[in-house]
Amino acid sequence: MLLYLAKRAAGLVGVLLAMSVTLFALQDIIPADPARAAMGPNAPRMLVEAKRRDMGLDQSVVTRYCRYMRNVTRGDLGESVHTHNPVVRDLAHFMPASMELALTALVLGVSFGGVLAMAQAAGPRVDQALRLALIVATSAPIFLVGLLLSLLFWYRLGWLPGGGRITPDDFRLGPTGFMILDGILSGQGRLVANAIEHLLLPALTLALPIAVAIGRSLTSSLLDVYRQSYIRTARAKGLTELRVLLHHTLRNAAGPALSMLGLQVAVLFNNLLIVERLFSWPGLGLYTVQAFAAADLPAVLGVALVVAVTYLATAAVIDVVRAILDPRLGLR
């Protein structure tokens, strides 16, 4: 296990180095001007040139890269051009919202996917109806799904909020930045309920593609496992169907679904950008969009690093869980 984790950590460092080099090279190619963005559109060119020197943009890309990496090792990701804050501080501010949304979407997606798969594996009648539902769900682009959910449940029916993270009057910034957790820690039940209300539509939008992918993958694994002789033996021994499912079938069928979950995490990060904008969700997606518009390269780099670390860490966790569920796979 330790060797595996060490290998993963080394891989992570390698990926981060490669990504930072690529992003720095791209910065040099893209004709964006962070100095102009910092000084404003109307500032005289002389002042912009002075700012360029001040930001070190007149130095070679290699010099800037070395300085950046030196600062990164000290936990300093630079200062955002747009917010004028240290990027680390901005990430700490925006990340909990994205994490809360992503985690909720994952939980919903895996739950729905599991239910779908088990329902499909249960019988052909359910299978037909669900197959149709899956085709519809996978065909629609995520922004359309989000838009339809928003128009129906917020605009038409008024059942759920259409955007934001909390109803303003209830808003209290807590210690963790996770609204639900902060609400629980501070004993404010109404805040928790309000936060959940706001989470439902964006999380559901993000969860649907995950549910479909997990559902399909798990269904075919379940059907395979159900055909195995040890399942017949378990049933012949008189075990209940639920016990057969939980103890003998699901555990052996979970491997491919977990691999699919790893892929879905990457898709989830991409979809976050769209869904956060659609639902005015104050997370990393909003921060990234604003950073792009302001040639805010330190912020863009910071977000890219965080997303890469999160993705690689998630992939490692999934590998470990797979190995625990099926020791034959081991940790490689």
Partner 1 sequence: MQRIGRIVIALAALFAMISVARATTPAGGVKVLRVAYNEDVSTFDPDDAIILFGLDAARVLYEGLVQYRPGSTEIEGWLAKSWTVSPDGRTYTFTLRDGVTFHDGRPMTAADVLASFTRRRSPNLPLSYFLDGIQNMSAPDPRTFVITMTTQQPAFIDRLASPWAPKVIGPGALVDHAGKDQGVGWLNEHADGTGPFSLVEFTRGQRYVLRRNPSYWGAPPYFEKIEILIVPNVGQQMLMLQRGELDILEHGYPFDQLERLPAGLKLDAHDALSLEMAYFNRTKALRDPAVREAVLTAINPDGWLADAFGHFATKARSLYPKAMLGAPEPVRFPTDFGAARRIIAGAGPISLEIGYTDEEAPVQQRVAEFMVSLLKQIGVVATVRVIPLDQESSLINDLQHAPDIWLAQDYPDAAHPATQVGVFFQTDAALNLFGYSNPQVDSLAARAAEMTDVAQRDRTYVAISRILFADRAFIPLADIKDVIVYRDSLVDLNTRPALPWAVDYGTIRRR
* Site residues for partner 1 per CB under 8 A: 30-34, 36-45, 47-48, 50-51, 54, 82-85, 90, 93-94, 97, 150-151, 153-155, 157-160, 162-166, 168-169, 171, 173, 197, 277-280, 282-283, 286-287, 289-290, 292-295
| Shortest separation between residue 172's beta carbon and partner 1, angstroms | 11
- Of 275, 299, 295, the closest CA to residue 287 belongs to 299
| Shortest separation between residue 171's beta carbon and partner 1, angstroms | 7
Q: Are 219 and 115 in contact (CB under 8 A)?
A: no
- Of 305, 284, 295, the closest CA to residue 92 belongs to 284
Nearer to partner 1, 2 or 173 (CB): 173
Cα 95 from chain centre? 10
| Shortest separation between residue 165's beta carbon and partner 1, angstroms | 6
Distance CA 178, CA 189 (A): 14
Nearer to partner 1, 28 or 224 (CB): 28
Nearer to partner 1, 72 or 196 (CB): 196
H-helix or E-strand spanning residue 193: helix 189-226
Nearer to partner 1, 93 or 243 (CB): 93
Beta-carbon neighbour count of residue 252 at 10 Å? 17
Distance CA 142, CA 12 (A): 30
b vs e for 285-308, b when ≥16 Cβ sit within 10 Å of the residue's Cβ? bbbbebbeebbbbbbbbbbbbbbb
| Shortest separation between residue 112's beta carbon and partner 1, angstroms | 14
| Shortest separation between residue 299's beta carbon and partner 1, angstroms | 11
Strand partners, 86: 79
Distance CA 77, CA 70 (A): 10
Nearer to partner 1, 34 or 78 (CB): 34
Nearer to partner 1, 141 or 164 (CB): 164
| Shortest separation between residue 277's beta carbon and partner 1, angstroms | 5
> Does residue 152 sit in helix, strand or coil?
helix
| Shortest separation between residue 18's beta carbon and partner 1, angstroms | 25
Nearer to partner 1, 42 or 139 (CB): 42
